[in-house]
Amino acid sequence: MTALPMRRAHVPFRVVAPVVVVGWFAAWFVNLPLANWAAYDLLGLEQGSHVGDAVAFFLLDVPKVLLLLLGIMTVVSFLRSYFPPERMRAALAGRGTLPATVGAAAFGVVTPFCSCSAVPLFIGFVEAGIPMGVTFAFLISSPMVNEVALVLLWGLFGPGIALLYMGAGLAVAIVGGLVLGRLPLEKWIEPWVLAVRAGGGATSLDLRLSVEQRLRDAWTTTRDLVRKVLLYVIIGIGIGAFIHGFVPMELIAQIGGRDNPFAVPIVVAIAIPLYSNAAGTIPIVEALLGKGLPLGTTLAFMMAIVAISLPEFVILRRVMKIRLMVAFAAVVVTGILAVGFLFNALGL
């Protein structure tokens, strides 16, 4: 083969971007009337009936969640590309424990991070002399206040709950980081971590990317994510639609109500194996919240889904001794339970 492989036609970016933006907003605004029309007029289902409401919920939420994921996630991933881990390390190195811990938790919201980078990041931080408690604040906040959860909470529940969730997540990360920082962490880390010497290769700060490259990366990341979660999203919305249409409010109030002290621990236990299915779970949560599940229980459920990840624990086991893993998990679970009980007690 001598010729270069066929290139895809390259439409200029400044032509694609406005078309996509306009199309997105058009789809966003037409979604609700279209879903209602399809459920109640086209299919002739009765408004207020069990089946009608369930079908309308499903037809409304599938495009809505997909639009949120495809559109907002692309924008968010693009913005996040400006906060690589190296920038965080430079910002945190040499600061006091408290400001560094708060900073690390905040960076957890914006720094792009995948759990397979947990070990290199951990070592990179140790090398820079950043206290390990600070690193833990990041490791807690990064998955918990993740972009998928925030975008979907904002889009489906409004900014109030999204910001409450973010605030609660940051609080758990900061307190968790401070508590873990008090432990004799040097002894609880696998010895090879402290022995390894990091080299000074090029970092993502030196490897400047163009805006178009960043946008293309953001789109690729988003597209891959949507492909991965699509099935779960549809199943989740299906379950949500069933709850919305058929499950009576009294049942939710009875099982998950504020008077049941076991509701928060139970939802946390249910949530742990659901990891990485935040996109599929939030529509279920949406339906449950609509049926009167208290906010504290709802937030605890959401947090436990994303914060405690078995795959990440397997990866972190490479650098941490079992004792530390247990302490880490215990701190995170305690924090989530505290958030659940606190918000329920406040009667929000």
Partner 1 sequence: MKIVEVLGPGCNNCRRLEAVAREAVAIAGVEAEIRHVTDYAEIVAHGVMSTPGLVIDGKVVSVGRIPSADDIAAWLVTA
Contact region with partner 1 (CB under 8 A), list: 82-90, 140-148, 174-182, 248-256: 82-90
Under rule CB under 8 A, residue 49 binds partner 1: no
Contact between residue 84 and residue 112 where contact means Cβ atoms under 8 Å apart: yes
Under rule CB under 8 A, residue 315 binds partner 1: yes
Non-local (6+) Cβ contacts of 289 within 8 A are 157, 295, 298
Under rule CB under 8 A, residue 204 binds partner 1: yes
Contact region with partner 1 (CB under 8 A), list: 97-105, 108-116, 151-159, 283-291: 108-116
Report in angstroms the alpha-carbon separations of 282 from 61, 253, 271: 11, 19, 11
Non-local (6+) Cβ contacts of 153 within 8 A are 161, 162, 165, 282, 302
Under rule CB under 8 A, residue 121 binds partner 1: yes
86 vs 291, beta carbon nearer partner 1: 86
Instruction: Indicate which single residue of 20, 38, 93, 119 sits in contact with partner 1 (rule: CB under 8 A).
Output: 119
- In sign, the C-alpha dihedral spanning 303, 91, 181, 123 is positive
Q: Cβ of residue 6: shortest distance to partner 1, in angstroms?
A: 12
Instruction: Indicate which single residue of 47, 49, 220, 254 sits in contact with partner 1 (rule: CB under 8 A).
Output: 220
| DSSP structure string for 173-198 | HHHHHHHHHTS-HHHHB-HHHHH---
Strand partners for 320 = 189
Neighbouring C-beta atoms of residue 99, cutoff 10 Å:
11
Q: Which two tokens stand for residue 319?
A: 């650098």
| Three-state DSSP class for residue 227 | helix
Site string for partner 1, 122-141 (x = CB under 8 A): -xx-----------------
Q: Cβ of residue 297: shortest distance to partner 1, in angstroms?
A: 33
Instruction: Indicate which single residue of 9, 11, 15, 207 sits in contact with partner 1 (rule: CB under 8 A).
Output: 207
Under rule CB under 8 A, residue 27 binds partner 1: no
Summarize as ranges the residues that interact with partner 1 (CB under 8 A): 4-5, 84-86, 89, 112-114, 116-117, 119-121, 123-124, 192, 196-204, 207, 209, 216-217, 220, 315, 318
